[in-house]
Structure formats: C-alpha cells, structure tokens
Structure 1
Amino acid sequence: MNEIHVYGADWCPDCRRAKRFFEKHSIPYTWHDTASDPEAARFVREANEGGAVIPTIVFPDGSMLMEPSTPQLIAKMQSLSRGAARL
C-alpha cells in the first residue's frame, strides 16, 4: 500500500477536519465512507476491536491513527516524509 486511506463519514467533524488537512497540504488520499459502504464500516469495527472510531486513517507504512488531532497528523506525515514535506 502506498497511499493514505481515510475511513469516516461526512457527518463527522473530525473526519472533515482530517480531509481538510490532507487537501490543504496537497496530500493524496482515498476516502472510504463508512455511512454508505458496509465494507468500510466493517474494516473500521475490526481495526478498532468492535468500535466505530472515525476517522480511522491507514498510512502507507501500514500504521493507523484513530481520531488523530491535527498535531498528530503533522507528526505522522513528517515521520513518513522525514522532512521532505514542510507542513
């Protein structure tokens, strides 16, 4: 996997914030709507031991963040790029 996958719902403020973060920094991602896609909802429940924690974000290195803050997203992207992207 070499892209970011964001699992969430349009009604979720934290999901909208995560999407805005990636868009603001021109970071490509794939959106998976847990409200309309049963497979996406199932993945989130499995990744969160039965909980519907969104956004659940899967990174190219296989790591995941659940409900990350903006500072957590910045730190993660910097660790992935090792300074290549200035956020």
Structure 2
Amino acid sequence: MLVAVVALVLCGCLALMVAPKRRPQTARHWEAQAQLVRDGRVIIYWRPGCVFCTRLRMRLGSLRSQATWVDIWSDPEAAAFVRDINGGAETVPTVILPDGEACTNPDPVLVRSHLSMAQAA
C-alpha cells in the first residue's frame, strides 16, 4: 500500500514538472494555412495532454515560437483536417512543412531544421 502511495506521489510530481506552465497561443486552422502560403511558416497541429506534442515542443526549444501551433480540440476544422491527412485518426503532432508536406509525429530534428532555415531567411 505504501509503495503504491509513493508511486502515485512521484507520478504526480513528474506530471507537474513536464506540464506546460501556461497554455500556448494557438491559431485557427485557416489562419495557419494562410500563414503557410504567405510566409512559409511551419504548422504544428497538436492537442493538450499529448505526450508526443509535449516532447516536440520541448525539443524545439526557442524555435517553437517560429511555428504556428493549432489546437485540434479547440478548432473542429483543424481536427477534420488532421483526420483527413491521417486516414481518419486525430494523430498529433501533425506537422505541415513549408513545402506542404505533412508529417505525423515527426522527428524533432526534422522540424528544427525547417524552423532554423525559415529563421535564417
């Protein structure tokens, strides 16, 4: 019993440590698409509570502000777009690169390289 309580407390502490301090600013689906066309901005479709999205956000570091983030849970059009790309599944993170290529749960190194190129331009 004591072991279970200690494990629960440790899991709670870990969850607090990795949870975002504030909810990131997000754009609407069509605004993000317009920015992609106009400025070549990377779009990252995400949802709260997604560990893969948190991993990507953390691995991007300061470059994360160079991308346009779209929360699929607060934008039904974004959710429909992600389902269309992923064969009916709302799999996130789904990233749209400046050339229009869609990547589902991509390696953060790939996304960083595109964001770095955009920042250098």
Measured against the shorter chain, the TM-score band is 0.7 to 0.9
Match of 1:44, SS state, is helix
Question: Which has a greater percent of helix?
Answer: 2
Aligned partner of 2:109 among 74, 78, 87: 74
Match of 2:103, SS state, is strand
Aligned partner of 2:55 among 13, 17, 35: 17
Q: Which sections of structure 2, spanning at least 5 residues, go unmatched?
A: 1-36
Is the contact made by 2:44 and 2:93 (CA closer than 8 Å) also made in structure 1? yes
- Following superposition, the deviation at residue 8 of structure 1 comes to 1.0
Match of 1:49, SS state, is coil
TM-score under structure 1 normalisation? Answer: 0.75
Could you tell me the percent identity over the aligned residues? 33
Work out the number of aligned pairs and report it: 78
1:23-82 superposed Cα distances (whole Å, 9 cap, x missing partner): x142501111011110110110011111111110001011111012xxx2314544784x
Question: Which has a greater percent of strand?
Answer: 1
TM-score under structure 2 normalisation? Answer: 0.56
Is the contact made by 2:97 and 2:114 (CA closer than 8 Å) also made in structure 1? no
5 Å-filtered alignment, 1:55-74, equals 55-68=93-106, 72-74=107-109
Match of 1:40, SS state, is helix
Distance 1:75 1:6, change over 3 A: closer
Higher normalized contact order (CA 8 Å, seq sep 6+, divided by chain length): 1
